[in-house]
Structure 1
Amino acid sequence: MHTIVFIGSNKSGTSREALTISNEMGYFTVLITNRKSFIRQRKEFPEVHRMIYVENLLDKDKILSIIKDLEQEKSQIGAVISFIDPFVAFAGKLSQELGLVQMSIEALTIMEEKTNVRKHLKKLPVSPKYAVYQLDDPIEKVLNHFKESFPLVLKSPVSNGSKDVLLVNSADELQEGLKYLKKRLPNHTVLIEEYLIGPQYLIEVMVINGEISIVAIIDQEILNGTRFIITGYSYPALLSIEENEKLQTAVFSIIKKLELENGTCHLEMRIVNGEWKLIEINPRMSGGAMNRIIEEGTGINLVKETIKLFLGMEPNLEKTAMKCVYAKFVTVQSRGKLIKVTGRNRALKHDGVKVVFVKPRKGAILRKPLSLGDRYAYVVAVADTTEKAKRIAGKAANEIRFYLDPL
């Protein structure tokens, strides 16, 4: 049996789509997961042929033992893949050890840790000012160092999905933010960066034998507040010729400096006074609705082409569509236990709506957004202009109502 082994998955989004697409491509699909809930909900994963629970997904000996057992059962392992942090580089190392397609492991490893990214890129003009603060150091040290630099952004070096990322505007907020992160971060290290003001974009990239392809540039709409929650994605991003040329130069300089020869990544960047600055880079394609946004806008199923890259096949990144797409995400403004959700069918009836997705089940605890995981629904709409796609998605998203029992 031709087999693909996936290390970890979320319940929905890009990593879940990868399981479905692997199955559709005719592969025996194996998911190794550290989520006991997935084992209990096994019947909800019909696309997975074998699901195996492992408490620590970074336990190389355990994973290799599972793969050896699969091979003894006549499975022919074609790829070991992960679409979620922090297992991307680890999957690449397993592939290397098994003699499969070689990814750029060192580059992927760097991208999984934000302080390493900043250190490797510090001489490039795309890099903001930053410092690494040890939470065991006296707080007066950092207060004195940054007293003239507000606003600032505090980040966990291994955060993803905007978890443990804070905007602080004063010395008091900085002190409170550091205290908050000290309780949450086991490694007691915080990345402190200057706050960059300007429109933000997501850039999806695939690199094949050193050839860099910018697959999509997406405009991001950020919810007002201190947590950088993205509530809207618009494709294609409306950039001037000069902005687009500068972006390509900036992205290529980053990829080459990291020495990424084979793999995928996505970057978040801002235009600041006419120049591009890197917010962050991750060693995988973006999650959530990103694959559907790109497929509706370009005709490219980026998850499928990524799987082909890991299998040693030639990805096809030729665009077969040119449509405007907008994805609108829905959050709630109070904490409570979910009683019911209404409006899904009404949202689907809006002309141009392609997808309506609602994540939480009845009984789930919902809260105001602290990370991207606190977005509870989304609508993807397609139209002939960006403005129209955004308007359709917004109206459809307004149909969705979450009824909560306050806590």
Structure 2
Amino acid sequence: MAKRALILIEGHRSMGLLFVQAAQRLGLHPILLSANPAQYGYLAAEGIEAIRVDTDNPDTLILECSRLRTIYHIAGITGALDSVYATVGKLCQYFNLPGPKPKSIGGCCDKFAQRQLLAQAGVPIPAYRLAANATDVESSVAEIGLPAILKPAVGTGSRGVKLCRNVDELAEHTTYLLGRKHIHPPYLMGESSPRMLVEECVQGPHYSAEVMGSEVIGIAAIDWGEPPHFVLRGCSYPALLTDNEHRAIVDASLSCLRALDLGWGPTNIEFVWTKRGPVVIEVNPRLAGTPTPQLIQLAYGIDLVTEHLRLVIGEEWNLRRMHSHAAAARFLVAEGDGTLDWIRGYCRAAAIPGVAEVKLYVEPKSPILRNGDFRDCIGHVFASSPSAAQTEAIVQCAADMIRWSITPFPVIGD
């Protein structure tokens, strides 16, 4: 009998190994298709089969999957990246496998199209305008006002997202986006020319809802750190909400699913709580990356990655909570560019009772280059306990124990 294989279209910086391990627990043989398998270090460490293929070309992927189907029984196809998820849907349709709707995924990944669909359905969102050049940006801000958020119409991980507080910052960031300096590595997710969104700066606490199918699994409180950039500093489950606030976010989440024709598999929805209630900042039609799956498992005992894969291979998932704890993450964020001389205290931090994980993303002597997005994080701490206050104290204590030194790069000409 042929092995049951799970086809993974591209890997993932923080989630790839979780997908591989979950597949193996389910008795599946994971196979990664990637344009550059070497970028995923966990493949070699785990001995995972990887095939180099153009993942931007659905026809090429169909040919490769058809070839693999002569060797394996393909139980499912999935991927964790926004840039491939619509293609995943197309492959699932072609091979008659469970999967997301490609048109719905495409409508979400284009943030302007997403805004239009949400607005048409009456879902509360920030005021927004589409801009293709500096003149468009200026006229949009004249209508929306400053401060405003300026970001690419397509992208993930807060790449290129910035709060512009005055006309100088706006002009500088417009030039930056038009030069596509935020795109690294250089995939454009189908973009043929730069498009930008100018959005109202909505004030209030930030939250994130994790949805599986049409069920809200958990709502997190999100700390994006200091503006003008959006670098995740912290995340905690459950968010401390009143019953009315919780209900309003759940209702808004379900409204998003209806407006965007979602409801298969995982969805991550970001909100800001305002005087008028929850305002939707973004809908991501896939499983959120680190720390969401890890914290959901610590808080509720639900393994989102495994349950997602069950759905992918046509099995019934189990989203029942096993317990109800508080879980939190703190990210270690570099404060400047330069060379990381040393980083210490992480072993002591990991030994604190209640700390679930301490992980460093860089090693001493590594260059540190801040980008104003997720790439500024150099590590994380996860913790859990029966109470929110206790968990907050544990994760803060652990994060405070970790120290590092960065020597600035020499200035040319000195």
How far apart are 1:136 and its partner, in Å?
A: 6.5
Any residues of structure 2 matched to 1:108-187 within 5 Å, and which?
108-123=105-120, 124-135=122-133, 137=135, 140-142=138-140, 144-146=142-144, 149-184=145-180, 187=193
Aligned CA distance change for structure 1 residues 399 and 368 (closer, same or farther; 3 Å): farther
Aligned CA distance change for structure 1 residues 247 and 135 (closer, same or farther; 3 Å): same
| 2:236 is aligned with 1:234 | yes
In 2, Cα distance between the equivalents of 1:150 and 1:139? 12
Of 339, 343, 350, the residue aligned with 1:348 is 350
Q: 1:206: which partner in 2? A: 212
| 2:92 is aligned with 1:58 | no
How far apart are 1:248 and its partner, in Å?
A: 1.6
How far apart are 1:311 and its partner, in Å?
A: 1.0
Look up the equivalent residue of 1:9 and give its one-letter code: G
Any residues of structure 2 matched to 1:18-97 within 5 Å, and which?
18-35=19-36, 37-38=38-39, 42-46=43-47, 48=48, 50-54=49-53, 56-73=54-71, 75-97=72-94
**Sequence identity of aligned pairs in percent?**
24
How far apart are 1:399 and its partner, in Å?
A: 2.1
Q: Secondary structure at the match of 1:357?
A: strand
TM-score, with structure 1 as normaliser: 0.92
In 2, Cα distance between the equivalents of 1:366 and 1:112? 29
In 2, Cα distance between the equivalents of 1:324 and 1:125? 30
In 2, Cα distance between the equivalents of 1:293 and 1:112? 25
In 2, Cα distance between the equivalents of 1:383 and 1:117? 37
Q: 2:270: which partner in 1? A: 268
TM-score, with structure 2 as normaliser: 0.91
Q: Could you say what the CA RMSD is over the residues aligned between the two structures, in angstroms?
A: 1.9
Q: 2:186: which partner in 1? A: none
Q: Secondary structure at the match of 1:86?
A: helix
How far apart are 1:270 and its partner, in Å?
A: 0.9
Instruction: Confirm or deny: 8 A CA contact 1:229 1:370 kept in the other structure.
Output: yes
| Runs of 4+ that moved beyond 4 A | 39-42, 136-140
Any residues of structure 2 matched to 1:217-296 within 5 Å, and which?
217-296=219-298
Q: Secondary structure at the match of 1:376?
A: strand
Aligned CA distance change for structure 1 residues 27 and 143 (closer, same or farther; 3 Å): closer
Q: 1:237-290, CA deviations, whole angstroms, 9 ceiling, x for partnerless residues?
A: 111111111112111111111111412110110111141101111111111122
Gaps of 5+ in 1: none
How far apart are 1:41 and its partner, in Å?
A: 7.1
Instruction: Confirm or deny: 8 A CA contact 1:369 1:375 kept in the other structure.
Output: no
Look up the equivalent residue of 1:132 and give its one-letter code: L
Look up the equivalent residue of 1:230 and give its one-letter code: L
In 1, Cα distance between the equivalents of 2:133 and 2:158? 20
How far apart are 1:34 and its partner, in Å?
A: 2.6
Question: How many positions carry a matched residue from both structures?
Answer: 396
Q: 1:195: which partner in 2? A: 201
How far apart are 1:143 and its partner, in Å?
A: 5.2
Instruction: Confirm or deny: 8 A CA contact 1:104 1:263 kept in the other structure.
Output: no
In 2, Cα distance between the equivalents of 1:373 and 1:180? 17
In 2, Cα distance between the equivalents of 1:300 and 1:36? 30
Aligned CA distance change for structure 1 residues 363 and 326 (closer, same or farther; 3 Å): same
Q: Secondary structure at the match of 1:326?
A: strand
In 2, Cα distance between the equivalents of 1:40 and 1:353? 25
In 2, Cα distance between the equivalents of 1:193 and 1:162? 14
